A and B are shown apart, each in its own frame.
Chain A
Amino acid sequence: MSEPKKVQGDLVLSHVTKSFADFTAVDDLSLTIPQGSFFALLGPSGCGKTTTLRMIAGLEEPTSGKISIGDTDITFTKPYDRPVNTVFQSYALFPHLTIFENVAFGLRRRGIKDVDEAVEKVLGLVELSHLKNRKPGQLSGGQQQRIALARAVVNRPALLLLDEPLGALDLKLRRQMQIELKWIQTEVGITFVHVTHDQEEAMTMADTVAVMNNGKIEQLGSPVDLYENPKTVFVANFLGQSNFIDGVVESTDGSTVIANIHGTRITFPKSRNNASGSALKIGIRPEKFRLHDPGDNTHGNVLNGGKITDISFTGVSTQYLVEMPWKQELVVFEQNDGGAPDLEKGDPVTLSWEPQFTFALDGSSK
């Protein structure tokens, strides 16, 4: 029955650690999530993202560290006393209550007598007003998902947490809900913290994505940033696919790095060199490569002597496997727009790509 204080501001996690018996789920995590943003915690299962979310919700207590919203320390505040609501992965709708009462639950607990208007409004937002007298068991998965969202949003929390909220939906519905969630977030202006293992989902919806691995944040940035300039091999492979070719820095000419890969000289902007030493892992996304017949005009960086070993048609694009003279197979995506030459298995090819699409990591990074 307690009315949480009006808490506003950025969510700040500082040096938060959560250890279970013999394993550290979250390891000295520091993070600031700006008020009003759509933030995604992305990572494989077991990376600590759900534990982080549960600590923000108050369902777990950190072993050490501090969590605050604005100036208010909420590290040890009980879940029912913090201005945070959660959309649970399983939805966790109350089976004994109607949809209306499910949505009104939080408002009633805070002693708000007249809930009709707020509930009707939020049910309108998720377009399910006509189902308000049903029980959760009578709703489809997608409808339950929206009610779970409405039940949280109606409380106008400072922070809304979403724990893999679309995980149980089929692909088509998931796409639709991604767009809807993003729209609702813009509409209500609440900070959304979204936990997911689906990189596409994170990139579609979030303003900022934090990629987590082994209880730590690997990299944090906008979806474009993370995709185009990943700082670790893990991030490069978790968000989309990447080719990595070993190389060595030859020289730096102003803002351009000149590197040697297996005897071929290539260049890329210095701003995209994330390596500290001269040994490099040079990353190129499969769709950045262009395929040419040997001897054709090319520009940018060029690698000669490739041979097609496999072709698979995937609809929008065709995926080629190209074996290079140093016996490494590179993945290449070509749009099916007639731009690429007609190629068959066994054909010799030349690869090219624009220098600015290169990203270089430490040669030793994994």
Chain B
Amino acid sequence: MAIAHAGASDAPKAPEKKSKKFAYLLLAPGLLWLLIFFAFPLINLAETSTKTPAPTFETGEFVQTFRFMNFLEAFLDNQEQFYRSFFYALLATLLALAIAYPLAYAMAFRAGAWKNFLLILVIAPFFTSFLLRTLAWKQILGAEGPVVSALQTVGLMAPEGTITATAFSVIMGLTYNFLPFMTLPIYASLDRIDYRLLEASGDLYANGATTFRKVTLPLSMPGVVAGTLLTFIPASGDYINAQLLGNPDNYMIGNVINSRFFRVVDYPTAASLSFLLMASILVIVVIYIRRAGTDELV
């Protein structure tokens, strides 16, 4: 009897303990992965960022001197690329939003049986590599490509004009490449909206446009916020589009970091720039989320 009683009182506790252990077990692979492939490199990068060239002036040799001026110098030397990165990323984000929102809306509310087909079309670009798709655009928009020759034939473009190697093509490339990241979260949040809420809005004297403004749009804001972040953050750090579709005048901060690391072999500056990029994105994102008030939008 006593044993049975003890067993009974222990019983409710046991599953709780077990489920907690189980939760850690589920977290473990992810945490381990982050530790090895994110935390360690980040520490390494932090360490590199305050180093100075070794007294021997041998290429690739640096010593730790805790020189925090590296950050200021890195910023001052590359201000232009910093601003350009955020400007291009912002334009690409706005363009992607303008294209993705109507698309997601149509998919969620109007597509009917075509919904899944459209969804596959949105995801389809992921079947080929990012680099390959951008290279394809370089071909399409290039001087020998169909777009330029067509425009030149109808006289809309000067014979010596180009589309590649311009800010336009870089922003277009960024927009194109990150469009699915904008579309999918917006689609997900629109698709989740209970259709009866829209009926209720109509019932309460709101016409189509007002219903969109007062009900649909606010309820889709979590998707818009997620989509803009998923577009803006990778776009500001991107260098492939500027490298393949732009010219050095369109280079973004990613291009500078790339060349500092691999061409100039100036690890401390590259590391400082990486940190500055991360920090500024973090600041922008925090301000943005505060302003968008995502906690108000649950």
Contact = CB atoms under 8 A, between A and B. Distances in A.
Interface of A: 1-2, 4, 57-59, 78-81, 84-86, 88, 90, 92-96, 105-106, 109-110, 135, 137, 151-152, 155
B298 A137 contact: yes
B139 to A, nearest CB: 46
Given A95-B219, A96-B296, A137-B298, A59 B199 contact: yes
A272 B5 CA distance: 67
B203 A79 contact: yes
Contact of A95 (B199, B202, B206, B298): B298
A94 B205 contact: no
Given A80-B204, A96-B298, 8 more contacts: A2-B207, A80-B205, A88-B196, A88-B200, A95-B298, A105-B214, A155-B204, A155-B205
Contacts of B215: 94, 96
A110 B219 contact: no
B293 to A, nearest CB: 11
A95 B193 CA distance: 10
B5 to A, nearest CB: 35
B210 A1 contact: yes
Given A79-B199, A95-B298, A96-B297, A90 B205 contact: no
A232 to B, nearest CB: 34
Interface of B: 194, 196-197, 199-207, 210, 214-215, 218-219, 296-298
Nearest to A154: B204
Helix, strand, loop or mixed for chain B's interface?
helix
A109 B219 contact: no
Pick the 10 closest A-B CB pairs, nearest first: A92-B200, A106-B204, A109-B205, A79-B202, A92-B196, A96-B218, A109-B206, A80-B205, A86-B203, A105-B204
Given A1-B210, A92-B194, A96-B219, A85 B204 contact: yes
A57 B203 contact: yes
Contacts of B196: 88, 90, 92
A257 to B, nearest CB: 50
Given A90-B194, A96-B219, A80 B207 contact: yes
B199 A78 contact: no
A94 B203 contact: no
Contacts, number: 71
Contacts of A58: 202-203
Given A94-B197, A95-B219, A84 B298 contact: no
B162 to A, nearest CB: 47
Contact of A85 (B203, B206, B214): B203
A79 B202 CA distance: 6
Nearest to B205: A109
A92 B298 contact: no
A58 B204 CA distance: 12
Nearest to B215: A94
B208 to A, nearest CB: 9
Contacts of B205: 1-2, 4, 80-81, 106, 109-110, 155
A80 B206 contact: yes
Contacts of A92: 194, 196-197, 199-200
Of B205, B206, B215, the most chain A CB neighbours within 10 A belong to B205
Of A96, A106, A135, the most chain B CB neighbours within 10 A belong to A96
B16 to A, nearest CB: 26
Given A96-B219, A96-B297, A78 B204 contact: no
A239 B199 CA distance: 32
A80 to B, nearest CB: 5
Contacts of B296: 96
